[in-house]
Amino acid sequence: MSDTTIPIPVEWHDCPDCTYFRSSDVRPYVEDGTLHAYDGRGTSRSSWGAPTVDTELAMLGPDIVAATVTGWHKHTRSPVGGTYYFAREGEQWVRRTANHRTVKAALAAVAA
């Protein structure tokens, strides 16, 4: 879980407490002006451990938030998750892909 100052309210949800979950089950989303994200550890099982989700939030610019999600469960050989981008457009925050013009510009500025 990231403790970065983010200009959108964030509501944290627990990791799904199951032996299998999809990336879509832990994908961050915006609802009613609040960013919902997943973070934490599920119940430990003696045979394989516990499902976990780690979400890091970072500012790419004054109006762009990147949420990097990494999750593990019993059936993963590589982590589930990915990087999701949220852009402020007017008074609303919307999810955008890395190919969206505002996200591309912010990523280029960070890389420079």
- pLDDT (tens digit, 9 = 90+) per residue, 14-28? 988 887 888 888 999
Strand partners, 82: 69
Confidence of residue 1 (pLDDT cuts 50, 70, 90): low
Q: Which two tokens stand for residue 28?
A: 């961050």
Confidence of residue 31 (pLDDT cuts 50, 70, 90): very high
pTM, entire model: 0.86
Q: Is the confidence at residue 76, as pLDDT, over 80? A: no
Among all chains, which residue has been given the structure tokens 């979400």?
A: 55
CA–CA gap between residue 34 and residue 69 (Å, rounded): 17
Check: CB of residue 74 under 8 Å from CB of residue 45. yes
The H-or-E segment that residue 31 falls in is: strand 29-31
**Alpha carbon 84 to chain centroid, angstroms:** 6
Domain spans, the chain: 10-111
Tell me how far apart the terminal alpha carbons of the chain are, to the nearest angstrom. Answer: 27
The helix/strand/coil state of 106 is helix
pLDDT for position 73: 82
Q: What is the mean pLDDT of the chain?
A: 89
